[in-house]
Amino acid sequence: MRERLQNKPVQNQFDISGLDLPAILATIEQEVRARFGEGEVADYIDALAKVPLDRFGMALVLRDGTIHEIGDSRDPFSIQSISKVHTLTMALDAVGEALWERVDREPSGDPFNSLLQLEYEKGIPRNPFMNAGALVVADVILSNYAKPEEALLEFMRARSGSADVGGDDVVAKSERESGFRNIATANFIRSYGNIVNDVDAVLDFYFLQCSLGMNCVDLARSVQFLSHSGFCDVSGKRVVSWELATRINSLMMTAGTYDAAGDFAFYVGLPAKSGVGGGIVAVVPHVMSLCVWYPGLDEKGNSMLGRYALHRFAQLTGLSVF
C-alpha cells in the first residue's frame, strides 16, 4: 500500500489522436447557431441585461498547449461565478485544509444564492461555489493576502497569460446596487463569526472577482492547471499539487453548476463551473480544459446553449470522467 501511494498518478488516460476537434467544434457551432435566442440574460445585473443572444464562443486548450477555438472565442464577457474556482485555489494555497473548517464540500441542491441551509448549518456554507461559500473564501483571501485585489488580478493574468484581465467597474457597481441578497448573506454569515473582515470589504472583493472580463481562450487557459495535475503550462508554474487538482475538479463536478450539478454530471460528465455571464469552464482531466460562452441562461443560472455545447462535445468525443 505504502509503495502504491508513492507511485505517480495515472496520466494520459485518454487518447484523443483520432478526434477531428476542429470538425467537432464546427458541428457544435452550427447546432448552437440554429438555437440562438434561447434562455434569458442575467437581467438582475443591469450591465449583463444588454448582452445580445447571438453570441457563442468555445475554446479548448490541450495538454501540449494547442488551442482549438470557434465563434466569438475572443470576445470578453463577465466571468461572474467562474471566478470562484480561482479564488478557491488561492484560499487553499493560503490556508490549506483549514479552509474546510469554514466551508463544507457537499452539493447544496439549492440555488446559487440561497440562504436556506445557512441558519441550521450555523453559518457554514455547503460548498465554496455557492455564493455563501464564495463569500467565506473571499474573507479568507482578505485575511491572508496583503493586497487581495492585486493578488487576484496577478493570479488571473499569470494563469491565462493575458495581461489584459481586469475588473469592470460598471458591472461591479451594477451588481452592488442590486446585491441585496449577497449583502444579506455576508451579514448573516458574519453573525455566526464565519466572516471576520469588514463585510463591505468582503463584498467589494466578491463583486470585483465576478466583474472580471475575460474571453473563452483566456478562461480555458486559466483552468489549464486543473487538466494538467496542478501544473500551469501558461506560466510554467505548479499552482497546486496533483492531488489538490483532483479535489478541485471533484468539487466542480458536485457543486460547480449549483442545483443542476446532477444534470451536468448526467449529460456532460465533466467537472464544470458556470457563471451568470453565460460562461462555463470544464476540464477533461489529463487531456484538456475548455470554455464555452453563450449569454442566455436556464432557470438554474447556467448558460443554456453552453450546457448544450458541452453535452454535444462529450457525446461527439466520448470524453467523460465516468
| Placement of cell 456532460 in the chain | 268
**Would you say the C-alpha torsion 245, 100, 300, 50 has a positive or negative sign?**
negative
Using CB under 6 A as the binding rule, whether residue 127 contacts ligand DON is answered as no
**Contact positions with ligand DON (CB under 6 A) in 80-109:** 80-81
Whether 276 is a known active-site residue: answer: yes
Q: Is 206 a catalytic residue?
A: yes
Give Cα 23 to chain centroid, integer Å.
26
The pattern of x and - marking residues 204 through 243 that bind ligand DON according to CB under 6 A reads ------x---------------------------------
How many residues does the structure list for the chain?
Answer: 322
- Of 217-225, 271-279, 281-289, 313-321: span binding ligand DON (CB under 6 A): 271-279
CB atoms within 10 A of CB 246: 16
- The residue among 139 and 175 lying less far from ligand DON, judged by its C-beta, is 175
Least Å from the CB of residue 279 to ligand DON? 9
Residues 284-303 that bind ligand DON (CB under 6 A): 301-302
Q: Can 258 be counted among the known catalytic residues? A: yes
Please identify which of the residues 41, 51, 78, 81 carries the catalytic annotation: 81
- Residue 114: active-site member: no
Q: Least distance to ligand DON from the beta carbon of 24, Å?
A: 26
Q: Which of 87, 127, 162, 182 binds ligand DON (CB under 6 A)?
A: 182
Catalytic residue chosen out of the listed positions 258, 284, 287, 294: 258
81 is catalytic: yes
Where do contacts with ligand DON occur on this chain (CB under 6 A)?
80-81, 112-113, 131, 175, 182, 210, 274-276, 301-302
Catalytic positions: 81, 84, 206, 258, 276
